[in-house]
Amino acid sequence: MPGIPSLKQSLQSGRVTIGSWITLAHPAIAEIMAKSGFDWLAVDLEHSVITIREAEELIRIIGLCGVTPLVRLSANNPVQIKRVMDAGACGVLVPMVKSEAEAEQAVSAVYYPTTGKRGVGLARAQGYGARFKEYKEWLSQQAVVIVLVEHIDAVKNLKAILSVKGVDGYMVGPYDLSASMGMPGEPDHPEVLASLKHVREVAKALGVPGGVHVIRPDPAAIHRKIDEGFTFLAYSLDILMLGETCRQGLAAIKASRSMEGKHS
């Protein structure tokens, strides 16, 4: 979109970008996070109660702040993809892509014919009808499709998935991946780590950029993932950053007060 740096170009050039997840629908959350310096922000429709109407408002605020608005879909659903793209999203993160056909389905839903099969309509993305030609050109050059690698079947079919034209990158989901391997909640299990290593090797061979979601707000963990070769990084999410800041601050206050009591 005009005024928003090209995430697609950043992915293609190998530049590190850092974003985060939004699960709270209040517009102030999107504005605060967008003005904090993130390169992109993903409105999470999979693990939140955000409605399509609320998603459009969040997309608008993120974009107006000059940050790339993405949407993590609740499913690989062509209708949902069409609606969030029409709302002004610059791209989508597609959950549970496990095959080449599913990757092709997602790409097809983002793009207009003849590249894809997306229905053509007028909404916010097209300037409410005033800028359809400009949007059509932008879409063909700048839209972003990220597949989420979060199932062992995706690992097995990764070469075919990442070879689909229109797939711009991937993001691994260690927790879902571990669950699909019969080890839920064990993302550091040796077999899961071996699968993640395989993902990095296949993607590197194909020249496809990738990333990972660092759940806890831990800057050191982000640096480690960059050193491992990831360039598309998600740094925590709104609810966790809010909660951890509250807990850490209160714990420090209570500890300090406790020590004062001992010396009184």
Non-local (6+) Cβ contacts of 48 within 8 A are 23, 24, 25
- Strand 17-22 relative to strand 210-214, pairing: unpaired
**Cα(155)–Cα(150) distance, integer angstroms:** 8
Per-residue pLDDT, 4:
87
Q: What number is the average pLDDT over the span 185-193?
A: 91
pLDDT at 138 exceeding the cut of 80: yes
List residues with catalytic annotation: 47
Per-residue pLDDT, 224:
94
What confidence tens digit (pLDDT) does each residue in 147-162 have? 999 999 999 999 999 9
Non-local (6+) Cβ contacts of 234 within 8 A are 18, 19, 20, 21, 42, 171, 211, 212, 213, 214
Q: How confident is the model at residue 259 (pLDDT cuts 50, 70, 90)?
A: low
* 52-64 vs 27-34: helix crossing angle, rounded to 10: 30
**Cα(15)–Cα(91) distance, integer angstroms:** 18
* Mean pLDDT, the chain, whole residue set: 95
Q: What number is the average pLDDT over the span 168-177?
A: 94
8 A C-beta contact, residue 146 and residue 232: yes
99 pairs with which residues across the strands?
none
Q: What percent of the chain has pLDDT over 70?
A: 97
What confidence tens digit (pLDDT) does each residue in 58-90 have? 999 999 999 999 999 999 999 999 999 999 999
pTM of structure? 0.94
Q: How confident is the model at residue 264 (pLDDT cuts 50, 70, 90)?
A: low
**Cα(55)–Cα(83) distance, integer angstroms:** 10
Q: Report the chain's terminal Cα–Cα distance, integer Å.
A: 61
8 A C-beta contact, residue 43 and residue 53: no
**Cα(36)–Cα(47) distance, integer angstroms:** 23
Per-residue pLDDT, 243:
96
For the record, the structure tokens of 139 come out as 């879409």
Range of lowest pLDDT (75-79, 86-90, 213-217, 236-240) = 213-217
8 A C-beta contact, residue 216 and residue 187: no
Per-residue pLDDT, 218:
94
What confidence tens digit (pLDDT) does each residue in 31-61 have? 999 999 999 999 999 999 999 999 999 999 9
What confidence tens digit (pLDDT) does each residue in 86-110 have? 999 999 999 999 999 999 999 999 9
Per-residue pLDDT, 108:
98
Domains in the chain, please, with CATH?
7-239 (3.20.20.60)
